Amino acid sequence: MKPKKATKKAARLLRKVWVSAAVLVTTSMMAVPAYAADGVQGSKIVTGTEKLIGDVTTWLMVLAPVVAGLLIIYFFIRRSAADEMDTKKWNNRIVVAIVSCIGAVLGSATLNLIIGYYK
């Protein structure tokens, strides 16, 4: 390697190190320290999330049976127009809709109960 190329590479490397150090020092000077006020429980994010989960679970307990009922009615109509092979598929879909409705209501009620303890 020629001496001029080695000097240029060293100068570029030194410049990169200098710029990196300057960015690090500038960033550390501009950083604002964060202080916790009353802990996590009093935070707006935590209380807002609790309220959001409570509202969503309440709506889910109302909407899940309504949507499942509409789907079951639709599946019964489709089953009545189906042949023997498709009747089994529609019966399975009806069972899945009922089980899913029960699972959604139980899950949202459980989550609503758990969130109720943190209020």
Number of domains in the chain: 2
| Same domain assignment for residues 46 and 23 | no
Q: Is 23 exposed, middle or buried (0-12, 13-18, 19+ CB in 10 A)?
A: exposed
- 3-class DSSP state of 39: coil
| Same domain assignment for residues 80 and 111 | yes
Q: Is 108 exposed, middle or buried (0-12, 13-18, 19+ CB in 10 A)?
A: buried
CB 98 within 8 A of CB 68: yes
pLDDT digits 0-9 by tens, 48-84? 888 888 888 889 889 999 999 999 999 999 999 988 8
What confidence category does residue 37 fall into, taking pLDDT thresholds of 50, 70 and 90? low
| pLDDT score at 34 | 61
| Same domain assignment for residues 15 and 50 | no
What confidence category does residue 22 fall into, taking pLDDT thresholds of 50, 70 and 90? confident
Predicted structure pTM score: 0.58
* Residue 92 confidence (pLDDT) above 90: yes
* Distance of alpha carbon 75 from alpha carbon 14, whole angstroms: 72
| pLDDT score at 119 | 64
| Same domain assignment for residues 52 and 102 | yes
| Same domain assignment for residues 61 and 17 | no
| Same domain assignment for residues 53 and 30 | no
| Same domain assignment for residues 10 and 49 | no
Candidate from 25-29, 75-79, 90-94 with smallest mean pLDDT: 25-29
* Distance of alpha carbon 99 from alpha carbon 93, whole angstroms: 10
* Residue 4 confidence (pLDDT) above 60: yes
| pLDDT score at 12 | 80
Annotate 53-113 with DSSP letters as a single string.
HHHHHHHHHHHHHHHHHHHHHHHHHHHHTS-HHHHHHHHHHHHHHHHHHHHHHHHHHHHHH
- What are the backbone angles phi and psi of residue 30, rounded to the nearest 5°? -85, -15
- Domain that residue 74 falls in: 38-116
